[in-house]
Amino acid sequence: MHITDHLQPGSVALNRQADSLQAALQILVELMAAGGNLTDTQAFAADVQAREALGGTCVGGGLAIPHAKSAAVREPGLAALTLDPPLACDTPDGEPLRMMFLIAAPADANDLHVQVLAELATLMLDKDLCERLIGAESPQAFCDLIAEQEAADEPKAKHKKHTKPEAWRFVAVTACPTGLAHTYLAAEALQKAAQDRGVRLKVETDGAAGVSNPLTPDDIAGADCIIVAADRAVSTARFVGKRMVSVSAREAIRNPGAVLDRAAESNVPVYRGGDGFRANDWREQCREAYRHLMSGISHMLPFVVAGGVLIALALLFAQLGAPSPVTDMMDTVGRAAFVLIYPVLAAFIAYSISDMPAFMPGLMGGYLAQLGTTIGPEENWVSSGFWGALVAGFAAGLLIRLLNWIGRKLPSELEQVRTGLLTPVLSLLGVGALMVLIVNPPLGHFNLWLCDLLDTMQGGSRLALGALLGALMATDYGGPINKAAYLTGTLALVSNQYDIMAAVMVGGMVPPLAVGLSCLLFPNRFTPAERRTAPQNLLMGASFVTEGALSFALRDPLRVGPACIIGSGLAGFLSVLQNCGCPAPHGGIFLIAVIRNPPGFLLALAAGSLLGAVLLALLKKPLRG
């Protein structure tokens, strides 16, 4: 594949002016439309902007390669633009943009845009070529320079050891528990590191909206190594027989170059199937257990979020005088969603461990945990809640593995009897007995004690809890500690402990707001690229997206971390002090109408954010020049 197959002189504009990145993108879209590649210019422009919102496409060195797959693309194409004067915008190295390429691919074109992106990024590693392209006298001369470079590179390509030019050097899968920020940040970080190293990389993102850019069998077969950067279980059976590196999404964000370098080493083990539970390395076993847990939590959270929002809306509409049947219906549906969270958690933990046969016993184990079923009278049952569902999920998954191992010793003629009768019955019996006889009685009493403890925690102890949970929300910006604090808030929400959820939410909102405010109030402490992210961070903070501060924390953890933790701790403390309450687990400032004591919540948020901003400025030294 050649760049000049998709780039024509009519789609090249030289030395144009643009006062913003959006204006430059619009010029490129118009060039693409002029080349006859589009069926709907406005729809394609919207798709380009939507892709840009997921993460910047500036690759450094004054170059940006925006791209989009769209149903408005008739046939794939490229457009190119050079800017004079250069455009100052958010770039990795702070250099203004001087040249941009826009890639357009049809919606059903699989990974065509990624192939073009890889070819283009590799070509642009030649800085001398970039300078000559920026100085080209005409669109035709611009295209001729690229054609000459591709022709000169072809003899070198014949001597490469890859089996075919289209083969990927690496392929990767990224995923995080919520399927939002970390999934795509990890993908972008790996792609940027691959471009810097001049290697080919295709990344499949397993996000909240589903799988994007899926790996095909040919992609996997042609890869030298597979990279799995995930904090929850993903499908790995397709990688059996390939060399595979497994890391967390956070590690891929923090140090993508080291992950790629590790994948390039010759001693990377071949994946033989199974997971960390079958490994001798206890670290891998812990990592795998965490992924199974996060798989269950990622499926549970939509029930918590949707149910909580419906309950909050029911309260709001009731205050506005809406008819009671409407508010009663919303409240009933929302609380019904809460009833399902523990069965769903257990079912998907079990499914993550042992696939479909484990789903039923996991679901039933979670249901028994929800009911608190014991052999005693029903009026004495107490739900074992989250901890009971956790035990049920892992027990169901591991029990299915044990039954499958035993079942392999049975004659093949009994295979259908084993899978259709023996395994379901024995697994349900085993998990049911475990929950009813062993797990529910003590954990039910533990949950009852814990609820009583929270109810009796008043004064200083309640304030300390709010401060602690707020601080924990700012500890690792969407990582395990943040998720644990958030889970504490959602579980308290189920028990109508709305003040705890308020402390958790305000604590999670502070970090992006703090760094955004610090950029605005103390600009001499931050680079131009960092200052340009201030509006984005303010919006993410207002929306309760803690991950907005992640890029700052990765660059300067010793200063950003303490500032955000102290600010979030103060916000959580003030929230509880002023008896704020939040009846929904997500929404941020947009839930202000249903939050108990809105002025107090806003005061806690403002105080924590301002303290974090000031501390960050005090810890950072002014930049020179």
pLDDT tens per residue, range 102-133: 888 887 655 556 667 667 766 777 778 888 88
pLDDT grade, residue 162 (50/70/90)?
very low
pLDDT grade, residue 176 (50/70/90)?
confident
Q: Which of 67, 113, 182, 299 is catalytic?
A: 67
With tokens 């609380």, the residue in question is 335
Print burial letters for 327-354: b (CB count within 10 Å at least 16), e (below 16). Answer: beebbeebeebbebbbbbbbbbbbbbbb
- Tell me if 73 sits within 8 A of 107, measured CB to CB: yes
pLDDT grade, residue 332 (50/70/90)?
very high
Cβ contacts of 616 within 8 Å, gap of 6 or more: 514, 515, 518, 522, 525, 559, 560, 563, 564
Cα distance between residue 213 and residue 200, in whole Å = 15
The boundaries of every CATH 3.40.50.2300 domain in the chain are 170-273
Give 7-19 pLDDT, tens digit per residue: 888 889 999 998 8
Q: How far is CA 395 from CA 101, 356, 363, 446, 525, in A?
A: 53, 15, 11, 20, 52
pLDDT grade, residue 164 (50/70/90)?
very low
With tokens 């309640």, the residue in question is 462
Q: Which two tokens stand for residue 89?
A: 């915008």
- pLDDT score, position 127: 79
Give 554-601 pLDDT, tens digit per residue: 778 889 999 999 999 999 999 999 999 988 888 888 888 888 999 999
Helix, strand, coil share (%) of the chain residues, nearest 5: 65, 10, 25
In the annotation, is 67 catalytic? yes
pLDDT grade, residue 293 (50/70/90)?
confident
pLDDT for residue 33 is more than 50: yes
pLDDT grade, residue 163 (50/70/90)?
very low
In the annotation, is 89 catalytic? no
Q: Which two tokens stand for residue 240?
A: 């059996």
Give 430-449 pLDDT, tens digit per residue: 999 999 999 999 998 887 78
Mean pLDDT of the chain: 83
Class of domain 170-273: alpha beta
Q: Which two tokens stand for residue 513?
A: 């707001």
Average pLDDT over residues 266-291: 68
Give 519-563 pLDDT, tens digit per residue: 999 998 888 878 888 888 898 888 888 877 887 887 788 899 999
Side chain identity, residue 592: I
Cα distance between residue 545 and residue 508, in whole Å = 7
pLDDT grade, residue 309 (50/70/90)?
confident
Q: What's the CATH code, domain 3-157?
A: 3.40.930.10
pLDDT for residue 2 is more than 80: no
Q: Which of 58, 89, 143, 176 is catalytic?
A: 176
Give 385-429 pLDDT, tens digit per residue: 888 999 999 999 999 989 988 887 777 777 788 888 899 999 999
The boundaries of every CATH 3.40.930.10 domain in the chain are 3-157
- The fraction of the chain above a pLDDT of 70, given in percent, is 90
Give 456-501 pLDDT, tens digit per residue: 766 678 889 899 999 999 988 777 788 788 888 887 877 778 889 9
